[in-house]
Homo-oligomer: A and B are copies of this chain.
């Protein structure tokens, strides 16, 4: 009996040529993380529900894949932050702080399936965790990682938007709206989507007086260069400790971001950014492709007071970012925006035209030992079918080895893109020269 070979909706499964692009993106991100010395981490996809859901609630909990196996109540991870918190609390005594880790792995959310939304997706995270304290300079290094990352992915016109939650919280305290802070944050976080008028309206609905609304609106409409914005914030003279500390932090972060070599064209202070509602406590980041704002933030994160309060009494402040790679890849691929170094796995396909395999295989081994991915076409087909195979796989170079080539000790290297063919001696070095 034949079962129809289906894949679950909301689960990405790519054809080989797309998978190659995906792997390259993943690897570029990983390489940047590694260059900054972040340590690799791999945690289980499955955790005890009791542990994984120690903090979760509301929307998140509904989306969890959760089940029982024997007597064990198990859940699939829905992000890489909770497993990190568990890991750091569990291994506290064996880790060196600041603990800088990257993790690239699949996470699971049983969301309503729709185009461009995934139930299984890769997150690519970095976090720096301090033991008790963590210098503000770390908050400035993170944007420099984002900057390198975006460059590596082939983007130039992007903006890292930076804010500090303490400034927002201080502002709300100063206008006696502390208890409404979460709601106000949620509203102003949407200003880019809904516009200023709708924002005011929503603030009214929340029951704010016009005076408070005016102060919020004039605050979030502060504009100008980064330095001008910082000056205007100082001139607001808001007498609130949280506001003052937040502003000091933001000034420090901006100062160090520049030292880290991120140009002013690629970052800016954006006072409307708040990110997660109760998680972040200081610096927050979002990153936008300026020509494709509709993609939303492609890389976001921020500073938090306490990573693992649900697992330990130790105070573990941290700062980090996350990239939702699966969705990002899907969108960039749809828009044809992925810049790849190569579109095939093999650099060279060697096509033997006789039963004599020694020369083709020997040449393949030579090429591989020189770092060139090489495939030998081992099956009995007509030349045309073999060439079509190379073409479909987008292999850039083909070397045909027939009677003539074996007798004369030469090979023909064909550039599949230009169609150009060159005869040369059967020496790998020469072929490599051609491949360059």
Chain B contacts for A130, CB-based, 8 A: 379
Which bucket holds chain A's interface residue count?
35 or more
Pairwise interchain contact A376-B6, C-beta atoms closer than 8 A: no
Give the distance in Å from the alpha carbon of A1 to the alpha carbon of B55 in the complex.
Answer: 10
Q: Interface digits, A20-53 against B, CB 8 Å rule (1 contact, 0 not)?
A: 1011000000000011111111111111101100
Chain B contacts for A68, CB-based, 8 A: 67
Q: Which of A160-168, A198-206, A309-317, A406-414 contacts the other chain?
A: A309-317
Give the distance in Å from the alpha carbon of A85 to the alpha carbon of B5 in the complex.
Answer: 9
Pairwise interchain contact B5-A46, C-beta atoms closer than 8 A: no
Pairwise interchain contact A42-B14, C-beta atoms closer than 8 A: yes
A374 on interface, CB distance cutoff 8 Å: yes
A197 on interface, CB distance cutoff 8 Å: no
A135 on interface, CB distance cutoff 8 Å: yes
Pairwise interchain contact B313-A2, C-beta atoms closer than 8 A: yes
Q: Which of A89-97, A267-275, A428-436 contacts the other chain?
A: A89-97
Interface residues of A in 170-215 (CB under 8 A from B): none
A392 on interface, CB distance cutoff 8 Å: yes
Pairwise interchain contact A361-B40, C-beta atoms closer than 8 A: no
Pairwise interchain contact B69-A41, C-beta atoms closer than 8 A: no
Chain B contacts for A100, CB-based, 8 A: 375
Chain B contacts for A41, CB-based, 8 A: 16, 19
Chain B contacts for A361, CB-based, 8 A: 259-261
A332 on interface, CB distance cutoff 8 Å: no
Pairwise interchain contact A134-B16, C-beta atoms closer than 8 A: no
Pairwise interchain contact A5-B36, C-beta atoms closer than 8 A: no
A87 on interface, CB distance cutoff 8 Å: yes
A292 on interface, CB distance cutoff 8 Å: no
Chain B contacts for A133, CB-based, 8 A: 379
Give the distance in Å from the alpha carbon of A346 to the alpha carbon of B102 in the complex.
Answer: 13
A303 on interface, CB distance cutoff 8 Å: no
A245 on interface, CB distance cutoff 8 Å: no
Contact of A20 among B39, B51, B98, B110 (CB under 8 A): B39
Check A44/B120 contact, CB under 8 A, given A130-B379, A311-B5.
yes
Give the distance in Å from the alpha carbon of A312 to the alpha carbon of B311 in the complex.
Answer: 50
* Nearest-neighbor residue (CB-CB) of A65 within chain B: B69
Check A90/B7 contact, CB under 8 A, given A260-B361, A345-B38, A368-B36.
yes
Q: Interface digits, A351-391 against B, CB 8 Å rule (1 contact, 0 not)?
A: 00000011001100100100101111011100000001100
Given contacts A2-B311, A138-B378, 17 further A-B contacts (CB under 8 A): A3-B51, A3-B54, A3-B311, A7-B44, A7-B47, A7-B90, A13-B42, A13-B87, A16-B101, A19-B42, A36-B375, A37-B373, A45-B120, A100-B375, A130-B379, A135-B378, A261-B362
